[in-house]
Structure 1
Amino acid sequence: MPIVTVQMLEGRTDEQKQELVEKVTAAVSESIGAPAERVSIVIEEMKKTNFAVAGKRASDL
């Protein structure tokens, strides 16, 4: 049973997240032959204040 964790900044719509899980499920199923009903997706959303690149928080950009 593959488990995929997606970490991303908060702010996506429910529709965008639904499309994401559908496409990730299909990609995992196709690439490793796992049945789609056995693929689990975990979405971890974080606040922009909790993510930084090159010394700059996403909330400050």
Structure 2
Amino acid sequence: MPNVTIEILEGRSPEKIRALGEEVTQAIVRSLGVPAAIVRVAVTELPPANLFMGGQDFTEPARHTGAPQNGSVTEGV
């Protein structure tokens, strides 16, 4: 049974997270040739204060390349 764990910065809609789970499931089905019914995908949303890159948390995202500049989550993060 393939298990996939994904950690993302919080703030995306339930629809986006559902789509992510569906897309990852289909990628596993295609690449491993297993039925979708046995693929498990867990998505964990992390608050900005609990995610670090280069020793800096994401409470001030302007410090991170590609991070949103206004404190909100964007498609690219």
Q: What TM-score, normalized to structure 1?
A: 0.92
What's the offset of the Cα at 1:46?
Answer: 0.9
User: Greater share of helix residues, 1 or 2?
Assistant: 1
SS in 2 for 1:26: helix
Structure 1 gap ranges (5+)? none
- 1:17 and 1:51 mapped to 2: Cα distance? 18
Tell me what 1:42 maps to. 42
Identity of aligned residues (%): 36
User: Greater share of strand residues, 1 or 2?
Assistant: 1
Aligned residue pairs, count:
61
Q: What TM-score, normalized to structure 2?
A: 0.75
Is residue 4 of structure 1 aligned with residue 4 of structure 2? yes
Aligned CA-pair RMSD: 0.8
Structure 2 gap ranges (5+)? 62-77
Runs of 4+ in structure 1 deviating by more than 6 angstroms, as ranges, are none
